[in-house]
Amino acid sequence: MNEILIKKTTDFFQKKFNSVADKVILSPGRINIIGEHIDYNDGYVLPAAIDKIICFAFEKNNTTTANISAIDLDESVVIDVTKDTELSDAVWTNYLRGVLLQLKLKGFEVGGFNCSFSSNIPTGSGLSSSAALECGFLYGINEMFNLGIKPIDMALMGQKAEHWVGVNCGIMDQFSSVMGLENKVIKIDCRTLDYTYHDANFVNYSLILFDSNVKHSLFTSEYNVRRIECTEGLGILKANFPEINSFRDCTEEQVVSLKSKMTDKVYRRSLYAVKEIKRVILACAALDKGDIATLGKLMFETHDGLSKDYEVSCEELDYLVDLAKAEEVVIGSRLMGGGFGGCTITLVKKGSEEAIKEKFTKLYKEKFNIDLKIYDVKVSNGTSIYIN
Ligand code: GLA
C-alpha cells in the first residue's frame, strides 16, 4: 500500500515542479498500547510507530521560498523561509510553519525548497497524523540542508510546533513517529526521555483499531484543560508532601488523603494519573512475559479511568469498549490517544478477528447510524529516508 503512496507523491512532485524529487521521506502515525494522558505527567507510555504514513518528496530550489503541496487536499502554499511566520487559516500549513519557526528559534538557517506530500494516516482518528506531518517535514529539511539535528531533538521540536498550533501535547506522538522500530513497542520514560524497545508480540491475539468515526470538537480545549487540572493537583500534592516532584513519586494513598483539599475533578484527574503510571509498568512487564491476559485487563482498567475519572471518552468509544468486554475472544480494549472520538485499540483472539469486526460494525451502525472504520496495523519503523 505504501508503494502506491510513494509513487503518487513522487509522480505529483515531478509534474508540479518539473523535476525528480531528491529526497523521499516516510513518516508514520502511531498506536499506543497503554499509558494515556501521562506523557505530560512525567509518566511512562508504550507506543509504537505503524505502517500508516505520510510520504514527502523534497528538493532544494536555490531560492528563499518553500513551495509546498498537500496532494490529498489539492492545496498548495508558498512560504518565505526568511520571514517570521504566523498562524494561518489553512490549518494544515500551521504544523509546517511551526516546524520552520522552531528551526529559526534554534538558529538553523534553511533555504528554499519544493515539497509535496500525501498521507494514508486517517486524520482525527487518534493516530497522530499531525506528529507525522511535523516530524517528516523536519526530517526532510534536516536531510536537505545537513542540519545534523538528532532524532530525539526532532521529536522535541515537533512537539513545540504542535504547541504553537494550539495543543499543549506531551512528547509521545512525535517520539514514537521518529523513534519507532519494526515489531517493537517503545517504553518511554517521559520524565527523562530514556526509552527501551520491547517485542510487539501479542502471542495469540491480534491488534485491531476500531475507529468510531467521530471527532468531538472538544478535543483541543479539553486536552489543554486536563493539563491545567493536573498541574493544580500536583501543586496540592507538592505542598503537602515535599518529597513529591511529580505524579511519578506519588502513591494512590497520598492522593486519597488530600481528597478534601482538591476539587472533585482535580482529585479524579490526579488519581487517574497516578494509577495509569503504575499500570504501564505492569503492562510492559506482562507484555515481556507474553501474559496478554494481564495486559488486556490493564487496558480495560485504563479505559475505565479515562472514561470516568479523566473524562476524555465519549458515548461512541464507551460503547465500543463495552462491546469488547462482552466478548470472550476479546482480551483487552480501550480508547487510544487523546480521546473525544477516534479509535479504540483492541486485542482479539487470532481466528476470531473477522467475526468480531463484522459483529461490531453491525451493532455500531445500529446504535449510532455511523459506519465503523477498522484498521489492521503493523508495528513499523519510525521516520526514515526512502531509498528505492
Ligand atoms: C495526544 C497527545 C499526546 C498524548 C495523548 C494522550 O495524542 O498529542 O501527547 O498526551 O494525546 O495520551
Q: Which of 139, 134, 131 is nearest to 172 (CA)?
A: 131
- The 10 Å Cβ neighbour count of residue 143 is 16
Host H or E run for residue 16: helix 2-17
Site to probe by mutation for ligand 1, drawn from 127, 173, 218, 224 as the one with most ligand atoms within 8 Å of Cβ, is 173
5-50: pLDDT as tens digits: 999 999 999 999 999 999 999 999 999 999 999 999 999 999 999 9
208-221: pLDDT as tens digits: 999 999 988 778 88
Q: Which of 33, 19, 164 is nearest to 98 (CA)?
A: 164
> Cell for 236?
496540592
CA 38, 39, 42, 43 dihedral sign is: positive
- What residue ranges of the chain are covered by domains with CATH 3.30.70.890? 205-377
Is 48 in a helix, a strand, or coil?
Answer: strand
Ligand 1 atom nearest 128 alpha carbon? 7
Confidence of residue 167 (pLDDT cuts 50, 70, 90): very high
Phi-psi map region of 124: left, alpha, beta (phi>0 left; psi -120 to 50 alpha) = left
76 exposure class (CB count in 10 Å sphere: 0-12, 13-18, 19+): middle
Q: What is the percent of the chain where pLDDT is above 70?
A: 100
23 neighbors 143 (Cβ within 8 angstroms):
yes
325-378: pLDDT as tens digits: 999 999 999 999 999 999 999 999 999 999 999 999 999 999 999 999 999 999
pLDDT reported for residue 148: 98
Could you say which of 42, 51, 173, 211 is catalytic? 173
Ligand 1 atom nearest 126 alpha carbon? 7
- What residue ranges of the chain are covered by domains with CATH 3.30.230.10? 2-201+381-385
Cα of 92 to ligand 1 centre, how many Å? 18
Q: Domain 2-201+381-385, what fold? A: Ribosomal Protein S5; domain 2 (3.30.230)
> Cell for 251?
502513591
Let me know if domain 205-377 sits in CATH 1.10.3720.10.
Answer: no
344 neighbors 32 (Cβ within 8 angstroms):
no
- Return the amino acid letter for 139: Y
Active site residue 264: no
Averaged confidence pLDDT in the chain: 97
